[in-house]
Chain A
Amino acid sequence: MTMIQALRSAMDVMLERDNNVVIYGQDVGYFGGVFRCTDGLQAKYGKSRVFDAPISEGGIVGTAVGMAAYGLRPVVEIQFADYFYPASDQIVSEAARLRYRSAGEFTAAMTIRMPCGGGIYGGQTHSQSPEAMFTHVCGLRTVMPSNPYDAKGLLISCIENDDPVIFLEPKRLYNGPFDGHHDKPVVPWSQHPLGEVPEGYYTVPLDKASVFRPGEDLTVITYGTMVFVAEAAARETGVDAEIIDLRSIWPLDLDAIVNSVKKTGRCVVVHEATRTSGFGAELVALVQEHCFYHLEAPVERVTGWDTPYPHAQEWVYFPGPDRVGAAFKRAMEA
């Protein structure tokens, strides 16, 4: 399956298993989503389970909070992560705090899906990676898969989870893995082992990272598209990097990070999002706090620049394998 098909399959499985699961968002119903992620679901489950919504992110998330308070398990879509901002109040002030402020009387078991990330000439408002806007909010879970197998298993876990989850989908990975070499043709998921996805129900646990590539020289902490970029950088530099795909960005799998960095003594954090106060800063701080006496080099950060995401300068902005590889070398030489 492609990641699109895997996500659709996860929603199909959960619509079938749990009558309280409902899916809605802009263009999600009849049309099946602008990325086809909900294709055919309305025809299969009816308009009361899968439906189109007005163009109102605050309304989509706000009604979902109300539905979750009633006892449903809404899975709503924001068409692009770049457009979640109008729903900020409902996400931060409401969904994230419902359980806490009501001492558990009301809960918000809901999943908000958002296609994110760049590398597609999406320009300023179709490329952003706003994960740090969510990881800073207590009460939210933030999750990002990097491949079809994880995408389905993680999405099922998120829908079943009783906490509100921000589920970020790197749209650059929807149809195939992408290592940052934009000049080469895209290989479809059908030719990648992680494109093998079971038809039925399975889960991938939350709060658990995966070692995407085992290695001894240094630890790369990353997620989403950058997992493949880091792999390319390892291949091209010959650095035996251990690549940790966080999968659950926050809360995260601290043990996986600490165990790896203690082993390698070197660490590079990689994300597409802008640098300052990005999630990488939290990762660097955690590594510093927990692995200080094991570190043999300063922790490197390879990220997007502190600028809005440009259009024409896409490949200068996007942290490709050359920039990541250069950081590997700096870390090894330090």
Chain B
Amino acid sequence: MSQSKPLSLHVPEPTGRPGCKTDFSYLRLNTAGDVRRPPVDVAPPDTADLAWSLIRVLDDSGNAVGPWAVDIDSDLLRFGLRTMMKTRIFDARMVIAQRQKKMSFYMTSLGEEALGTAQALALDDGDMHFPTYRQQSLLMAHKVSMVDMICQLLSNERDPLKGRQLPVMYSVRKSGFFTISGNLATQFVQAVGWGMASAIKGDTKIAAAWIGDGATAESDFNTALTFAHVYRAPVILNVVNNQWAISTFQALAGGESVTFAARGVGSGIASLRVDGNDFLAVYAASRWAAERARSNLGPTLIEWVTYRAGPHSTSDDPSKYRPADDWTHFPLGDPIGRLRQHLTLRGLWSDQEHDATSKELEAEIVAAQKEAEQYGTLASGRGPDAASMFEDVYKDMPEHLRRQREQSGV
């Protein structure tokens, strides 16, 4: 018998903690244009190399290069940039409103605006997104009423969800935006079921599932992959790897030495790993996956490599667990800055237009906020009808809820 040394438990750590610098060399990066673009009917095992590399279109100078540089209508690109800007300005305004106690809670998507925006534009009306709480850019891309969104955030008289849900837990069926749940990962498997339903009915619609890096550790992540693979469900399985799950680094979710895209290949699903801050790459990869799903070729898993630039939520202080200036060192930069550079290079955008658009969006959002606040804020106490609390638990109100409504005195 050989002598055994004492075992030791491995607990992954981020390289950067407050007061020091993150070493981003753990990100497996490629230069723009480097990674091949397979046919949409590629066999899942043949995407193994793609799951371990990074699809990028925009190079450091803002040029679109390589096989994923597909032709995108210039109006769409301009709309994409505008939508990302709108999302960011909206987020900033809502954080102020939260600090002013007009709403109880908010979550920004700073740095991740390209994902929902570009994928929404790559999919069709009638497709259904199963988002997390950080895909508000999908709503912006679908031009959902900001007044309605703010009313939800304020839980006021005009809140479409009648004050039942925490702020940001939107539900907008008509825009293909599934009701957000506080329980992580549940929607990932529901999206697969929605896609299966579309296939059962011989429909042409597809589903898009969304999950963060941290939530991939939930069992529903694995469940979704298994069901999507088994039934070849028409679904895009989006994993947003923003490196952080509240205070825990993505290594603790199982990302150390591996990619999340590789999980897809292991489950028999065609998988891509894509620069999530590269609007053109997000659009091209989403289109590829959508075409694959719509052609009944099955699911695609896409790991979007990005960075959660802001706090996890308004209840979070990231300076307690990571370097304060981390985002400025993230090698994939800022999605808005990068698309702006590209469009400027092509003569489709200018500094003047950028400033004018910023001002215009700011005014639009301020106006929406003003209008929404007319219907009450959390502070004003003008909320939805209290009696409506008992509705929609069941389709028809059962006797015990009628009695409880009566007892509540509302």
A56 an interface residue at 8 Å Cβ cutoff?
yes
Question: Are B183's CB and A101's CB within 8 A?
Answer: no
CB distance from B174 to the nearest CB of A (A): 9
Question: Are A106's CB and B173's CB within 8 A?
Answer: yes
A-facing residues in B153-187 (Cβ within 8 Å): 160-162, 164-165, 169, 171-173, 178-179, 181-183, 186
Question: Are A72's CB and B223's CB within 8 A?
Answer: no
Taken together as a complex, chains A and B put the C-alpha atoms of A63 and B169 apart, in Å, by 21
A71 an interface residue at 8 Å Cβ cutoff?
yes
A-facing residues in B92-118 (Cβ within 8 Å): none
The interface stretch among A89-97, A119-127, A297-305 is: A89-97
Question: Which one of B181, B224, B398 lies within 8 Å of A94 (CB-CB)?
Answer: B181
Question: Are A103's CB and B194's CB within 8 A?
Answer: no
Question: Are A54's CB and B395's CB within 8 A?
Answer: no
B248 an interface residue at 8 Å Cβ cutoff?
no
Question: Are B398's CB and A106's CB within 8 A?
Answer: no
Q: Which of A64, A97, A102 has the most CB of B within 10 A?
A: A102
Residues of B within 8 A of A107 (CB): 395
The interface stretch among B81-89, B195-203, B375-383 is: B195-203
Closest residue of chain A to B223 (Cβ to Cβ) is A59
Taken together as a complex, chains A and B put the C-alpha atoms of A97 and B190 apart, in Å, by 14
Residues of B within 8 A of A56 (CB): 223, 226-227
Closest residue of chain B to A58 (Cβ to Cβ) is B223
Residues of B within 8 A of A284 (CB): none
Size bracket, chain A contacts:
35 or more
Chain B, 188-226, contact with A by CB distance < 8 Å: what is the 0/1 string? 011111111111110000010000000000011001101
Question: Which one of B161, B164, B220, B393 lies within 8 Å of A62 (CB-CB)?
Answer: B220
Question: Are A101's CB and B165's CB within 8 A?
Answer: yes
A215 an interface residue at 8 Å Cβ cutoff?
no
Taken together as a complex, chains A and B put the C-alpha atoms of A257 and B271 apart, in Å, by 58
Residues of A within 8 A of B197 (CB): 22, 66-67, 70-72
A211 an interface residue at 8 Å Cβ cutoff?
no
B-facing residues in A265-319 (Cβ within 8 Å): none
A194 an interface residue at 8 Å Cβ cutoff?
no
A191 an interface residue at 8 Å Cβ cutoff?
no
Q: Contacts A22-B200, A93-B186, A163-B395 hold; do A62 and B173 have CB atoms under 8 A apart?
A: no
Taken together as a complex, chains A and B put the C-alpha atoms of A137 and B357 apart, in Å, by 49
Question: Which one of A65, A102, A254 lies within 8 Å of B171 (CB-CB)?
Answer: A102
Question: Are B183's CB and A89's CB within 8 A?
Answer: yes
Residues of A within 8 A of B399 (CB): 207, 251, 254
Question: Are A64's CB and B193's CB within 8 A?
Answer: yes
Residues of A within 8 A of B392 (CB): 99-100, 103-104
Taken together as a complex, chains A and B put the C-alpha atoms of A99 and B28 apart, in Å, by 42
Taken together as a complex, chains A and B put the C-alpha atoms of A161 and B395 apart, in Å, by 9
B400 an interface residue at 8 Å Cβ cutoff?
yes
Taken together as a complex, chains A and B put the C-alpha atoms of A54 and B223 apart, in Å, by 9
CB distance from A19 to the nearest CB of B (A): 8
Taken together as a complex, chains A and B put the C-alpha atoms of A69 and B400 apart, in Å, by 26
Chain A, 127-148, contact with B by CB distance < 8 Å: what is the 0/1 string? 0000000000011010000000
Closest residue of chain A to B202 (Cβ to Cβ) is A48
B230 an interface residue at 8 Å Cβ cutoff?
yes
A162 an interface residue at 8 Å Cβ cutoff?
yes
CB distance from B238 to the nearest CB of A (A): 15
Residues of A within 8 A of B173 (CB): 102, 105-106
Question: Are A106's CB and B178's CB within 8 A?
Answer: yes
A28 an interface residue at 8 Å Cβ cutoff?
no
CB distance from B202 to the nearest CB of A (A): 9
Taken together as a complex, chains A and B put the C-alpha atoms of A318 and B393 apart, in Å, by 35
Question: Which one of B130, B219, B398 lies within 8 Å of A86 (CB-CB)?
Answer: B219
Chain A, 1-17, contact with B by CB distance < 8 Å: what is the 0/1 string? 00000000000000000
A229 an interface residue at 8 Å Cβ cutoff?
no
Question: Are A63's CB and B189's CB within 8 A?
Answer: yes
Residues of A within 8 A of B207 (CB): 66
Q: Which of A56, A101, A106, A254 has the most CB of B within 10 A?
A: A101
Residues of B within 8 A of A244 (CB): none
Question: Are A69's CB and B190's CB within 8 A?
Answer: yes
A159 an interface residue at 8 Å Cβ cutoff?
no
A-facing residues in B382-410 (Cβ within 8 Å): 392-395, 398-400
Question: Are A48's CB and B200's CB within 8 A?
Answer: yes
Closest residue of chain B to A96 (Cβ to Cβ) is B393
> Residues of B at under 8 Å CB distance from A?
128, 130, 160-162, 164-165, 169, 171-173, 178-179, 181-183, 186, 189-201, 207, 219-220, 223-224, 226-227, 230, 392-395, 398-400
17 contacts between A and B (CB under 8 A): A49-B200, A56-B223, A59-B224, A62-B189, A62-B223, A67-B194, A69-B190, A70-B197, A72-B200, A89-B220, A93-B183, A94-B190, A99-B393, A103-B164, A105-B172, A139-B393, A207-B399
